[in-house]
Structure 1
């Protein structure tokens, strides 16, 4: 019988009634939650720093090699699984958006960090030795603060997490970036944010260009210059990703998924999916179900 891909919130993974934050060393977390090796989804933000281990982990159907010194970030809704080879350790922090946002006046502060964009190219980062050496003690300090009942311990955890975000973000910024490139990066970020909110109802680059007050040619040039793909490909890739995520839920029929993504009919959706993925939606669902059952 087909099992639904589970969706976990922080409460379901914590021994205490805490729905905003879960902090742990990675090895004991794995020992307690062996069910998380199989494909699952999160309703929260998720950050892991590996200090030991090998194998692989998969985010939104793309596999990454596990390496000590690697940090990865996930946003709510992404699909995830682990396939470790031997002992694996490090640190894990699961947290809600409100855990950080309640501490800050700037709305959407996490959007400033590319690794929280959901773009897989920015999600998994192999830290240089000097950055790893600076970040690891911050995770240790977070564990220490989390174990305290001291006044403002939770605020100290927030501050330490922000230090981690900023240090990792600084590492990925090119100091030689010019103003024009910075403008284009901002434009691309705005385009991606629009796609995130409208991928099911706006499918043409020219319509996004209108919303951004630029020409379609300008939008396409920015995408090709920074991403190496066209604006249309960026839109289609996001639609494909959402289709894959929906296909992990057997309670949704192919017709329902097609409707939710605003395709005119099932055959058009199937044709789109097969052109992008080389297999039909039904074949993809069967493969995911088999992988989940292993």
Structure 2
């Protein structure tokens, strides 16, 4: 075991990493080194974040729900939010893995978020498969610069390490084959297109498969995009969109509960009432009474 590497890794993990970029805040959950030897296994699990597994030395076997592969020295792979994976030894050899785990938080108040390069990079990371990529753009070298700074604690080393994180992310994207980033002013993120599709089709029964077909993506890809942006499932995103529209319609007494249920694509009024109460804690009728009584009181 490399004890200096452990020391550098520990110091890296102790640093707070919040990086403000154009339209996004990147929160680094960890920047660390994993050393393994002999037989070992990390059981099947998933994160709500992006984890870059960078193989500096040795190799390991990785199994996802879709495939199994060997990640060897000089390569890396990415597990996006919600991607289940298991990792274990390969031929009982030693392994040194550099790990960067981070989340992208869009700043909704930013007018430039949709068009930023970081928005496009975020969308790209959501779309790439969990498979090994050769490090052709210096990902390992950049990580080792961060380790060297942490080990020797040079003046302002934290600033240097902070600047290396975006460089690692860009180098990883380039190694994965990201294409030219569009600069059109009307370029929309995939999450924007998902939200628009749900809004435009709010009056019919919707499921994740409908969104996937519209964007020509898999349901798993749609799930990752929605989870990374909103923090919950695609199904819940659809339900909440319908409930929000129902709340708007309930403020208009000319709509009956039955009409609202039908207009929102619910098969029965009972199903709509159950879904509404589960999310709002009251029935649609009780919600309407409360809202209309407040309105009457205000105008009295």
TM category, shorter: 0.3 to 0.5
Compare CA radii of gyration and give the structure with the larger one. Answer: 2
Larger helix proportion of the pair: 1
Q: TM-score, normalised by structure 2?
A: 0.47
TM-score of the superposed pair, with normalisation by structure 1: 0.48
Whichever structure has more strand as a proportion of its residues is: 2
